[in-house]
Structure formats: C-alpha cells, structure tokens
A = this chain, B = another copy of it.
Amino acid sequence: MKVLIVGGVAGGASTAARLRRNDENAEIIMLEKGDYVSFANCGLPYYVGKVIKSKEALLLQTPESFYNRFHIDVRVRSEVFSVNYAKKTVSVRNCETGESYIESYDKLVLSPGAKPIIPKIKGMDLKHVFTLRNIPDAFAIEEFIIHNKTKSCAVIGGGFIGLEMAENLKSSGLEVSVIEAGSHVMPSIDTDMAYDVQNYIRSKGIKLYLNSRAQEITNSSVIFENGIEVAADMIIMSIGITPDTEFLKDSHILLGERGEILVNDYMETSVNDIFALGDAVSIKNIISGQRVLIPLASPANKQGRIVADNLCGKNQKYNGSQGTSIIKLFEMTVASTGEKEESLIRNNIPYKKVFTYSSSHAGYYPDGKMMSLKLLFSPLDGKILAVQIVGYDGVDKRIDVLANAVRFGLTVYDLQEMELAYAPPFSSAKDPVNMLGYVASNVLDGKMKVFYLEDISSLPKEAILIDVRTVEEFENGHINGAVNIPLDSLRSCLNALDKNKVIYLTCQIGLRGYIAQRILDQKGYSSFNLSGGYRLYRAAEINKAGLL
C-alpha cells in the first residue's frame, strides 16, 4: 500500500505515525508545502511572547526523526497543487526549485488545514501587517518587532489567536489594542459570559474596541468604518480562518460552501480511497447534529488516528466534535464546550440555563479563586448541551468533566452524583460541577424559578424587586429599584409583603435568592430569582462603562 499524506502537521503527522505502527510495510510519503512538519501551531503565540524560548521546542518531529523512527518519506517545501482521482495521482511542486512532478497513490490523505482569512481592506498588503499560522509567520513577527522596535500593535479579531497574541504582545511590553467587529470577544462563548473577560482584558491595560470593523490600515494606524482611528506600529490580522483547499477545486472531491472538504463519519471524502481530516473538513457537531467547522488540534489529532486505522481496513467512526476549547488570558482561563446559547437559539434547540459562581477549592483553604459557570441543558430531560466557564484556577478541570457530560449524554441529575476527588487544596465536598447539577435540577424540577439579566429592563411595573443581601452589600451597589430585605430577616418581614404581587429576588450570585424563594414559595408568594445575581449584573455594568 502506498499512502500519500498532504499536510505534515497535526492531522497529517498523526495519521502517518499511527499508520506506520499499523503497517510496517506501507509506503508512506508526507507532502508538506511549508518548511516544517509536526510543529506546535498552538505554541506560536507563546513563542512570540518568549514564554517558549527556543525554536526547537516547537518542533515535535523533523523529517529526519520521522524517517529514523517511522521510515516515513517526509518532503517539505512540497506543495500538492492538484489531485487526479481517476489516475490516482497528485501533482507536487517543489517550492525550492519550482519544478513539479507527479506522485501516484493507493490511498490519499488530505490534512491541509486552514489559512488565515485576509479581508479585502486597504492596506492589507503593508509590510507591518501579519497573520499567524506557522513557524515562519512567528519568526517574521518576532523579527519585525526587534528590527523596528515596535511599540504598539493592533490585533484585529478577538478570537483565540487574536487574544493569545494580544496577551503575549502586551506581556512583551507593547501597547495593544484589540479590534473586534462583533459585540463581544471570544465567539465560543455568549455575550453574558464575555463581560468578565472583557473587563479583565481592559484591566490588563489592553484597549478593547467592540462592534468595530477595520476599514483601512495605514502605516501607523487602523481606521474603522465609523471613522475612529487607532494608532499602531504593527497589525495582527486574526479575524478567522478558512479551509486551505484551493488545490482541490478541480479534483472532483466534494467541497462545501466554505471550501471545506466534505467527509462521512469514517473521514472518507466523496472520492474512493481519499480521506480528509482536520481544519479542512466539516464534521458533525454532537449537539446540533449539523456539519460544522471546528478547527482545533484535539479533533485533528484524533481523526488522524482514526484515518490511519481506516486506511488499514478498520471501520472506525469519528463520532463528532463538540468544540471544547480553552484559552489562558494572563491569569484568567476561559473555556467552553457544546453549543452556546446564541447557537442554540439559531438552531432552534430548546434549552434552559443557569449561572453559578464557585470557588476553585474549599473556601477555608487559602488561595481559592472564584469561577463563573453557565450551564445550558435540555428542558425535556436535563441533558447537558453546553457549558462555559470563566475563572482563574481549576477552570480547565471543570470544563473537562463537563465536556464529557456533554459528550456522553449525561443530565443535570448525573452532575449531582459525580463523585469527584475532594481534599481542601483541590475542590469542595460539593464540587462546582455538583453545584451546577443541584442548581440546574432545581430549575428543571420547578423548585427554583429564575429570571435573567436580560429580563431586568422589562420586569412588570407592579413587581417587587427584593435584594436579599446584607445592608452593607446593598449599600455598596444594587439594581435600580430594588428594596433591601436581608435574607436572615425575610421570615420576620413576610407580613409586610403583598401576596398578589410577583416578587423578583436578587442576591450576590443566586444562592441566597434561592433560599429566599424557598421560604416565599412555601408561604404562598410567587417569586423569581435572578440567576447569576448582582454579580453578573455588575459585570455587565462594568463592561458598559468600559466600552470605547
């Protein structure tokens, strides 16, 4: 069997290594148009930020090591520019010499990845405008900064790569602006969860422009559609990526609307003996069932192993992705899994939601850090649809636990009974994950009736809004129109409350409001509790105040 693999990084190299372990006798050729194979794309922003200090650290394998260990013929600077499915050949251009040749295959694997989207705006071609996909890109940015003693940078696009670059450049001493066309950064999370992230980014001295579309880049600035001009010596363009599949245009391999390669559950393309994987393909989202682009390394690596097995006659299914993702932002961690609320709405998937706020470990043990969690679940059976977490320590742990809850179809009731490892430095006897389960099941069972941030402006005029925090907390700030009845005084104030009016409760995070609601409920009052509490409300207010 002769196998050609196009693309030598996450998907391609994973396929190659596993394939060799499966089949010592296969002829394996890996064709990579770039200078390097098997490199840590995900480490590039940290290389620019000098967190990763050596170029060598970024290289997991080289063509030599691949040959020595796996007897794989790795050809870098070798671009595949067309595929002839009928003859089972590809045309390869040697990027050094410019010469090209034809290479035949029994099986072809396509893992060409995705390339940065280049918007058609004036100034895109200036020398101080960069994108970041591979090692030479990172070198170019590094050299530009050193050579030009760059003082300021505008990052256009507030997604993963944009924010990682913003952090790393800021930490390197540059003035950084982030310019985002959407209403919030991090398209993987919802607006309400982005407030804390945005407030934090600003607190780090990064200028954040939301709802701002770059229209022109000059030698020293970015000009927005609304006329605002932001000074910048350097530009990082990170508004998204698109499948790097132009070479397949005439190949008979079916591509989707966004240029993505269409594959079935076995990672087979529409053409026999051709497999595809990674950032270049669309895959099934396990929540919505739709074919989506989820350009992340973990799916690419896993698909690689599956493709290698299927090349050898195994019938392994890739069961779909869920978009589990995480980002470090200075000390903050932001993570999500499943379909966010805004997507559920778009996809007409019914859901309920709750917000909680928990410490990374037992409150009585030093240095616990609070994290904010949002859970989306099915109103029918409590099946978990998505989770978003913003915090500092322990966010990565909870997102992984909850990612599996999404993946394996668990419900909010299952969260309750999870027996997670507890000792004071690590967690609480009721882990934040258990707590999410309690709160969500209370909502599902009708034990807690909630309202949300977005409802505050439209509460019925005759409603009573009661803040059950302490007098001191209340005086430090509260929602307009709220009256203060501290929880521990509520029982003695019941007589003063009108049973005919609906009561809207709020506290700091939702816990005391819930306890208040339990009392009111059983005494014949009708009430709703603000999920997320004043804390979330306040995050929204701070964000509003910070808008540029």
Query: Footprint of B on A, CB under 8 Å?
Result: 10, 20-25, 40, 42-43, 46, 51-52, 57-58, 60, 68-69, 71, 160, 164, 296-302, 305, 319, 321-322, 324-328, 333, 335, 337, 362-366, 396-397, 399-401, 403-405, 407-408, 410, 414, 416-427, 429-431, 433-434, 438, 487-488, 491, 514-515, 518-519, 522-523
Instruction: State whether B364 touches A57 (Cβ < 8 A).
Output: yes
Pick from B71, B327, B362, B366: contact of A491, CB below 8 A: B71
A403 proximity list for chain B (CB < 8 A):
418-421
Closest 9 A-B residue pairs measured CB to CB? A326-B421, A24-B522, A397-B397, A297-B429, A57-B364, A301-B429, A68-B488, A396-B426, A21-B518
Q: What copy number does this chain have within its complex?
A: 2
Q: Provided the pairs A302-B434, A519-B24 are in contact, do residues A419 and B322 lie with their beta carbons within 8 angstroms?
A: yes
Pick from B10, B426, B515: contact of A328, CB below 8 A: B426
Q: Provided the pairs A299-B419, A362-B42, A523-B24 are in contact, do residues A69 and B429 lie with their beta carbons within 8 angstroms?
A: no
Q: CA A296 – CA B419 in complex, angstroms?
A: 10
Q: CA A424 – CA B42 in complex, angstroms?
A: 7
A416 proximity list for chain B (CB < 8 A):
302, 305
Instruction: State whether B71 touches A422 (Cβ < 8 A).
Output: no
Q: CA A396 – CA B401 in complex, angstroms?
A: 11
For this complex, 18 residue pairs linking A to B, each with C-beta atoms less than 8 Å apart, are A21-B518, A23-B522, A25-B522, A43-B364, A43-B365, A51-B365, A51-B366, A57-B363, A68-B488, A299-B419, A301-B430, A302-B419, A302-B430, A324-B421, A335-B421, A399-B421, A403-B419, A408-B414
18 extra A-B contacts, CB within 8 A, seeds A24-B522, A51-B365 = A24-B518, A24-B523, A52-B364, A57-B363, A69-B487, A297-B422, A298-B419, A298-B422, A299-B419, A322-B419, A324-B421, A335-B421, A337-B421, A397-B397, A400-B433, A401-B404, A404-B405, A408-B410
A423 proximity list for chain B (CB < 8 A):
42, 160, 164, 325-328
Q: Provided the pairs A51-B366, A366-B51 are in contact, do residues A408 and B407 lie with their beta carbons within 8 angstroms?
A: no
Q: CA A141 – CA B365 in complex, angstroms?
A: 19
Look across to chain B and name the residue whose beta carbon is closest to the beta carbon of A45: B424
Q: CA A326 – CA B299 in complex, angstroms?
A: 30
Q: CA A57 – CA B367 in complex, angstroms?
A: 13
Pick from B20, B160, B419: contact of A321, CB below 8 A: B419
Pick from B46, B366, B488: contact of A365, CB below 8 A: B46
A24 proximity list for chain B (CB < 8 A):
518-519, 522-523
Q: CA A23 – CA B410 in complex, angstroms?
A: 29
Q: CA A69 – CA B10 in complex, angstroms?
A: 55
Instruction: State whether A424 touches B43 (Cβ < 8 A).
Output: yes
A514 proximity list for chain B (CB < 8 A):
21
Instruction: State whether B401 touches A400 (Cβ < 8 A).
Output: yes
Instruction: State whether A396 touches B421 (Cβ < 8 A).
Output: yes
Instruction: State whether A426 touches B326 (Cβ < 8 A).
Output: yes
A429 proximity list for chain B (CB < 8 A):
10, 42, 297-298, 300-301
Q: CA A410 – CA B363 in complex, angstroms?
A: 32
A301 proximity list for chain B (CB < 8 A):
429-430
A365 proximity list for chain B (CB < 8 A):
43, 46, 51-52
A418 proximity list for chain B (CB < 8 A):
400, 403-404, 407
Instruction: State whether B69 touches A326 (Cβ < 8 A).
Output: no
A425 proximity list for chain B (CB < 8 A):
328
Tell me how far the C-beta of A85 lies from the nearest C-beta in chain B, rounded to whole angstroms: 30
Instruction: State whether A60 touches B522 (Cβ < 8 A).
Output: no
Q: CA A35 – CA B302 in complex, angstroms?
A: 56
A57 proximity list for chain B (CB < 8 A):
363-364
Q: CA A365 – CA B51 in complex, angstroms?
A: 8
Tell me how far the C-beta of A383 lies from the nearest C-beta in chain B, rounded to whole angstroms: 13
A296 proximity list for chain B (CB < 8 A):
422
A23 proximity list for chain B (CB < 8 A):
522
A299 proximity list for chain B (CB < 8 A):
419
Q: Provided the pairs A301-B429, A421-B403 are in contact, do residues A43 and B438 lie with their beta carbons within 8 angstroms?
A: no
Q: CA A401 – CA B407 in complex, angstroms?
A: 12
Pick from B60, B324, B522: contact of A420, CB below 8 A: B324
Instruction: State whether A366 touches B52 (Cβ < 8 A).
Output: yes
Look across to chain B and name the residue whose beta carbon is closest to the beta carbon of A21: B518
Look across to chain B and name the residue whose beta carbon is closest to the beta carbon of A520: B24
Instruction: State whether B325 touches A421 (Cβ < 8 A).
Output: yes
